[in-house]
A and B are shown apart, each in its own frame.
Chain A
């Protein structure tokens, strides 16, 4: 079974520029998550999708961050304009519908963003 795919793995941009990250979850997984992990911190949920719909985006800075999940499969996370404090690893995860209750999330390797 293929894992969660993310790209790009690394991105360096200057502040006020824009960036987009892509995620392809495990086939058949209904739930998709984007987490932000700042160095030395635990992952923080930005947004959670159930199929096409948003379940939780309470911690997404909506003035600069946006995310969509196309046809209930792939997802993109965009930051525009980026700030220095957005430097972090952006982790995508997916789970089966039942897995959401067991806490068994499958994470990708992450996209490391550096904002200069």
Chain B
């Protein structure tokens, strides 16, 4: 069974204090790993897709990286508007494109 574990469960940063979120996974034949952002009371919003180890994607202050066992979401000089829950999901080969999500990391950035 596919498993996704995210850490930490919650992270509190000061504005401008860079950090990383971790997503470790166990999947039979990774087809893709995905990062989503979820604001309170909203549905998840797609951020990135990573397909193979060594791949990196960037968007504003966010950079996602992938190894054979885990992915990191690096947040550089965060702002209060980056506060949200960040969800990681994996898609296994032959899975009918089903996404298996982790529990997420709740990020709070204080001004």
Chain A residues proximal to chain B, CB less than 8 Å: 4, 31, 40-45, 48, 55-56, 91, 93, 100-110
B45 touches A107 (CB 8 A): yes
B32 touches A101 (CB 8 A): yes
Main secondary structure of the interface of B (DSSP, over half): strand
Nearest neighbor of A35 in chain B, beta-carbon distance? B101
Q: Which residues of chain A are near B100, meaning CB under 8 Å?
A: 45
Q: How far does the Cβ of A13 sit from chain B's closest Cβ, in whole Å?
A: 20
Q: Known contacts A42-B4, A42-B87, A103-B32: does B43 contact A93 (CB below 8 Å)?
A: yes
Size category of the B interface is 20 to 34
Q: Which residues of chain B are near A105, meaning CB under 8 Å?
A: 44, 46, 99
Tell which of A40, A56, A109 touches B41, judged by Cβ atoms closer than 8 Å.
A109
Q: How far does the Cβ of B12 sit from chain A's closest Cβ, in whole Å?
A: 17
- Complex: A91 Cα to B41 Cα, angstroms: 11
